[in-house]
Structure 1
């Protein structure tokens, strides 16, 4: 065999090797820095949640709350799911034991489901039921899920604002107010009810409502205004919707009639979010304003939506994997020595005033930010 022929064979083998190597699947969520290990971060954040009393809105206060708030519920749900996915039985049992108080001495802290923020507490007993099969939790978890889409009495209907009555008449939940926050709160609860019962009614009605929110609030660039009368791309507000779509798409069957519209709305949003991510991997308090401050709770929600999309094959991993990785690593740098996340936007109502959003307080350790960080860890370890 001539020398030149041997060289040709060697070159061909090298090319084949390089080609095979280039086709290997790259996992952008492996070999993370030590401070960004999702098992460790999720564990520390869950322990931090357990070490605190139930939260009030805003900063933690000495006065006990008179009801469990939605940020508390969102963090609790994340911690329960994280514990199950990592096989941490001790953490799981401690979280469930805390939930058992809702059956007796803390039952009074479960609010009446008069709006989306108060109804979402149902995700906790429903998740405990999903993990344990304890019928007591199924019973109390389905109460707010069913209340959310109940048939109103004439007196109840008459008390609704005119715009809500119109939406209810179209078959939507009487909680429908067309704020983008809603489509995490409603979606999470109805999805949990579906997981617990496998009754497609829960899934179909929330999917139909999600499309109504897409048609009403999503703008041509894929992002969402806070509300019809508030034309601002508020970071965490868009984050709630991104997380809600990711949650829903995870369980929505591929042949569901509503899925194509929702997956398109999700992809349109993700594509534009990619353009607004800054060089450090963060998103800002107002998404389209690079001079606004980098905000962690919204960034964590978008990171969760990216991770979920990549892992489920809805998003191109070579495009969105590096963005999700960069965001997660950056977020972990915002955790302080107490495992509290910094630079979280305080609880925010809607207001048609740009400066109102820019001037919102930046707080540390609030569950609006702690919760989606746990969701990210939960998604990374799945």
Structure 2
């Protein structure tokens, strides 16, 4: 189907045409990551489908079907839902402050009875959509240097403060970095960027000393010197490095990783699952997984560049930035290059809220590709 055919009225709205325009290479790459994750969860459970692998596979299969369904939604629907979705998710974050459930020291979850959800994960997508809609209606001057930038700054800042208060520093960082990436791509002036960067660097030491909770401060100090408390706060990083190094070039073999199988490696099914990959499949296996991640990022960037709509371009770039931030922070954390802040490896780590948020985001990216010729009205930046 040619581009000219797709632009004929009515032709591009046919279901077979829409399905043919889905980027099936991206879908295949996501399935490779999901399949690899299922295999690793099966391995770390001692060659058992329970308690993680079976649930992960069912969730991922549902998420792929959801992504394909969302890809068929017209961009006008995504555009119309941007602000309402942000508002509902913000209310959920506020509800966490009142009725939230505490897990691993952070009051981040809402218990729905049959399951628990983490609103902060969905806020990442909500921020992406809200910022994309605001910038779609903004002029170049308003996006570069204007008092109206207080609106996108508030869209990022308010949920950042709520998530940091839970406290969930890793998710708060992800929100801030994703928002910053969108504002930068949208054309933010260096006259604003430079002072913010300088202020952030200057604020880090006093924040570590006076603003962090005690356990968060210990994580930072442990990152600087893990050997100071090898059996306590430094244990996670030390065991992760041992797992990474012991895999060598080709790894110990599937299901034969001593650090994970003997449960020396903490959180081997969530935050440190990539260390298990390195131990069992070595440098070669680790690089193969990272290349799949790189291919996903590059494919998403290409999809964003093809769209005729500013909203769609920024939304696709925002989801891609969220995915990349997950990847970079978790990779640095596992290798001991960043403090342990509880950021999972995207689609690889076990977890329902994170997977659902990311796959809805990829559904948005697929919708951007399917409806890349759709033009959206400019209108006001706030309505």
TM-score (normalizing by structure 1): 0.31
TM-score of the two chains, using structure 2 as the length reference: 0.31
Name the larger-Rg structure: 1
More helix by share: 2
Q: Structure with the greater relative contact order (CA < 8 A, sep ≥ 6): 1 or 2?
A: 2
